[in-house]
Structure formats: structure tokens, C-alpha cells
């Protein structure tokens, strides 16, 4: 999100206000906000203050930390502080491994249906990429009865709304091969808008919902065969990362696959996972 300059009339977050808000973010999201993030937090809260007609961060804290505020405002506050950066076919080797190795391994000697979970799906590029490559797999293996379901979750209601719409600027879908763009995207009738939308058939393969990964239980149908949780744990401390992946293992089927970001690692964690590829793990 682009940072906004602080209006002269708006005083900075006090140290106590920042501590309260950063502690809340850490407790709800597992994300650490050191003092160096104070200016970032101020800039991201400004739009919300204007929308609520509040004149200071002190007024916002008063609103947020009363009982009614936690029920009505917390979700908006968390939307503002989460970072949502993703692309179609990001870390493309994962999608190649998915259809060349993971899916055939899962289908061997069992049902021709696989279930996937895109955790931290942001604005939808990852689950739609999954849906495209799996739809292609089904198309190229006609008669095998292959099918799939995708649960896509994020904590941000703002990005989930965008993901559900499945509308993107044409420049956003540039990483998608042209053949897939023709098959799975519809161009806007207004050519001047340069927008495309994911086809209804592809959108129907994905169920979007809000899930906080810090919750004790997830509204996910288990067991799941494949979990994509990429470039999410980098914001968490090590103990939180290990707890999160331990919980993922509880939701995965034996022999299932976990995909994480290329800059992330599970090294040093006591988990029933075996590394089988570049940032790919199998549930033992």
C-alpha cells in the first residue's frame, strides 16, 4: 500500500498508542511490529481515521479498544496493516511440480479427486493459477475422472472481495501464458478499461473465505491434500512459524504436499514433513 504523508494537524502515534496497537497486531496476526514500523503504521491508519471522521490516533485507540470497537473495527484495522503482494504464476516451478509430481503421486491407487488450500491467498492470483493448471491437467487427461477443489483464505476482507470478483488489469495477467489467458479470462466489453475477468467456470472451482492463521481452529474441510502457504511466515517469529506449520500438518492428509516460499525454510522445526523439492515438503 502506498504510504501517505502525515497531515500537519494529525499528531504522531504516542509511544503508548503504538505499543498497544503493535501488541494487538502481534496477538491477532503473529506479526511483529518493532518501533521502526511506527511511521508505516501511522500512514496506513490515516485513511481509516478520515473515513471515521476522527481527528487523532488517540481517538482511534479509544474507539478500537472498547468492547464494541473490537467487534466492529478490528477487522478493518487488520486489513490495513497486512501486506498483500502476489502475482500469477509466482515461483512457477511450484506449479510445474504440482502437476508433474504431486498430483500423480496423490492419485496413485486412490480417488481421482484432490483438495487444495491456498492459505494467505491475497487478491486471488495464486488460487486462480492453481485452478488454471489443474484445469489444464484435467483437460489433458480426459476420461480419467480427475477433479479438484480449492479453498482460498486470507485474513483481509478487502483482498478477499477483490479475489471473489476475479477482475484484474490486463498488465496483472501478463505472466499467464497467452493460451491460458484466452481460455480462462474474459475481456471487458469496454476496451478502454483494459480489464479482464476470470471465467465463471474457473471461479466456481474456488471457495474464498476469511481465516486468521492465528486461530486455534480453521474453517477448512480436512484432510487437505495440498497446502500452498507461500511468503506468509516471513512476518512471524520462529516459535509462531513452528506452531503454524504443526497445525497445517494436522489438516493435511498423509502423503500430502506443502508448498512454501523460496525464501522460507522449515529447518530446525520438529514436524512430520520431508523435503521433496525446492521449498516443497511431503506429509509423512
Q: What is the pTM of this model?
A: 0.81
- List 154, 203, 225, 283, catalytic entry: 154
Locate 60 and state its grid cell: 482511534
Q: Any idea which of 32-36, 153-157, 178-182 has the lowest mean pLDDT?
A: 32-36
- C-alpha dist (Å) from residue 17 to 1, 14, 44, 48, 115: 22, 5, 15, 16, 43
Burial code (b: 16+ CB inside 10 Å, e: under 16) for 75-97 equals bebbbbbbebebbbbbbeebbeb
> What does 216-271 look like in DSSP terms, one character per residue?
SS-S--S-EEEEEE-S-GGGB-HHHHHHHHHHHHHHEEEEEEEEE-TT---TT---
Average of per-residue pLDDT across 85-113 = 92
**237-283, pLDDT tens digit by residue?**
889 999 999 999 999 999 999 999 998 999 999 999 999 999 999 99
pLDDT reading at 137 higher than 70? yes
Residue recorded with cell 504516542: 14
pLDDT attached to residue 2: 37
CA distance 86 to 126: 7
The correct CATH number of 15-81 out of 3.40.50.10440, 1.10.760.10, 1.10.155.10, 1.10.150.530 is 1.10.155.10
The yes-or-no answer on residue 154 being catalytic is: yes
Which carries the bigger pLDDT value, residue 232 or residue 251? 251
Q: Quick check: 230 pLDDT over 60?
A: yes
Q: Find the mean pLDDT for residues 19-36.
A: 86
Write the CATH number of the domain with boundaries 93-166+200-283: 3.40.50.150
Domain residue ranges in the chain: 15-81, 93-166+200-283
Active-site residue among 44, 203, 230, 283?
Answer: 44
**Annotation marks residue 44 as catalytic:** yes
State the virtual CA torsion across 81, 159, 225, 26 in degrees, nearest 10: 10
pLDDT at position 8 over 80: no
Work out the angle between the directed axes of helices 38-52 and 57-64 (0-180°, nearest 10).
80
CB 102 within 8 A of CB 94: no
* Interior/surface letters 142-161, b for 16+ CB within 10 angstroms, e for the rest: eeeebebbbbbbbbbebbbe
**Rounded average pLDDT over 64-88:** 82
Amino acid at each position: 500500500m502506498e504510504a501517505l504523508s502525515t497531515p500537519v494537524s494529525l499528531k504522531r502515534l504516542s509511544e503508548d498508542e503504538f505499543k498497544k496497537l503493535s501488541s494487538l497486531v502481534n496477538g491477532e496476526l503473529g506479526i511483529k511490529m518493532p518501533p521502526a514500523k511506527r511511521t508505516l503504521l501511522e500512514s496506513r491508519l490515516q485513511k481509516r481515521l478520515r473515513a471515521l471522521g476522527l481527528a487523532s490516533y488517540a481517538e482511534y485507540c479509544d474507539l478500537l479498544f472498547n468492547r464494541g470497537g473490537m467487534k466492529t473495527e478490528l477487522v478493518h484495522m487488520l486489513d490495513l496493516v497486512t501486506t498483500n503482494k502476489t502475482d500469477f504464476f509466482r515461483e512457477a516451478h511450484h506449479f510445474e511440480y504440482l502437476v508433474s509430481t504431486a498430483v500423480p503421486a496423490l492419485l496413485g491407487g486412490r480417488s481421482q479427486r484432490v483438495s487444495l488450500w491456498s492459505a494467505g491467498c491475497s487478491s486471488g492470483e495464486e488460487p486462480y493459477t492453481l485452478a488454471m493448471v489443474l484445469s489444464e491437467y484435467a483437460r489433458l487427461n480426459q476420461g480419467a475422472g480427475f477433479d479438484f477443489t480449492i479453498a482460498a483464505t486470507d485474513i483481509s476482507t478487502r483482498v478477499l472481495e477483490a479475489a471473489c470478483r476475479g477482475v484484474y488489469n490486463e498488465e496483472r495477467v501478463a505472466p499467464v501464458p497467452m493460451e491460458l489467458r484466452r481460455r480462462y479470462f474474459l475481456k471487458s466489453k469496454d476496451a478502454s478499461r483494459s480489464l479482464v475477468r476470470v471465467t465463471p467456470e474457473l471461479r466456481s472451482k474456488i471457495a474464498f473465505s476469511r481465516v486468521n492463521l492465528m486461530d486455534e481452529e480453521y474453517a477448512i474441510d480436512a484432510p487437505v491434500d495440498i497446502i500452498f502457504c507461500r511468503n506468509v511466515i516471513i512476518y512471524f517469529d520462529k516459535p509462531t512459524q513452528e506452531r503454524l506449520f504443526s497445525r497445517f500438518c494436522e489438516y493435511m492428509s498423509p502423503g500430502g504436499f506443502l508448498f512454501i516460499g523460496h525464501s522460507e525454510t522449515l529447518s530446525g522445526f520438529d514436524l512430520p514433513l520431508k523435503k521433496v523439492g525446492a521449498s516443497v515438503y511431503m506429509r509423512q
